[in-house]
Amino acid sequence: MWTTRKGLNYNTRMSTYTQIYYHITFSTKERRPTLDAERREELFKYIWGVIKGHNTHLYRINGIQDHLHLLTGLHPSVCLSDFIKDIKVATSLWIKENRVFPAFTHWQEGYGAFTHSTNVKDTLIEYIKNQAEHHCTVTFREELRTLLLDAGVEFDEKFLE
C-alpha cells in the first residue's frame, strides 16, 4: 500500500489474469504420415507432461498420421514460440530415443496458433477430438488454409505445401 499526499490509500498489488485458448497445430516434416495410430496415445501423454511442466493446462490433444492439434491455455510467463519449440524438441528426442515412430525424422518448421474465446471452447474440443473423421474428407493443407482464412491471417500459398 502507498498513500498519496491527500491521505488516500491505494493498493499497489495486482495479480495477472488471463483466459486465452490457443488452438495449435503443427505437422511432421514434409507432412509424412509417420505418427502411427498404435503409439499416438503415448505421444499425447508425453506432450501432456511437457505442457504440465510449463504450468499450462491442456484441454484436448489429438491428431492423425501427419499432424497434431492442441487446445491449451498458456501461462502468462510463457512465450508461445518457446512453448511450441519446447514441445517439438522434447517430443522429437523422446520419439527417437524410444523408437516410437520409426519413420519419424522431425517436425516441420512453423506452426499454426489461433486464439479463441471461452464460448467456443467446447466446439474446439469436439473438433480436435474428431480429427480422424474430419480428415476422411479434408486434407491437412485444406484444413490449415481454412483455419488461416477464418482467423484473418495473411499467408502465402507456397508455405502450405
Query: What are 32's three cell numbers?
Result: 509424412
Region 18-136: CATH code: 3.30.70.1290
**75 contacts: CB under 8 Å, gap ≥ 6:** 54, 55, 56
Query: What are 102's three cell numbers?
Result: 520409426
Q: pLDDT by residue (tens digit) across 59-101?
A: 999 999 999 999 999 988 899 999 999 999 999 999 999 999 9
Angle between helical axes of 80-98 and 37-52 (0-180°, round to 10): 130
Average pLDDT of the residues in 117-135: 95
Question: Which residue is it, cell 499526499?
Answer: 5
Average pLDDT of the residues in 104-119: 95
Question: Which residue is it, cell 485458448?
Answer: 21
Average pLDDT of the residues in 3-15: 65
Is pTM beyond 0.95? Reply is no
Can you name the residues that pair with 71 across neighbouring β-strands?
23, 60
Give the start-to-end residue ranges of the domains of the chain. Answer: 18-136
Amino acid at 24: I
5 pLDDT higher than 90: no
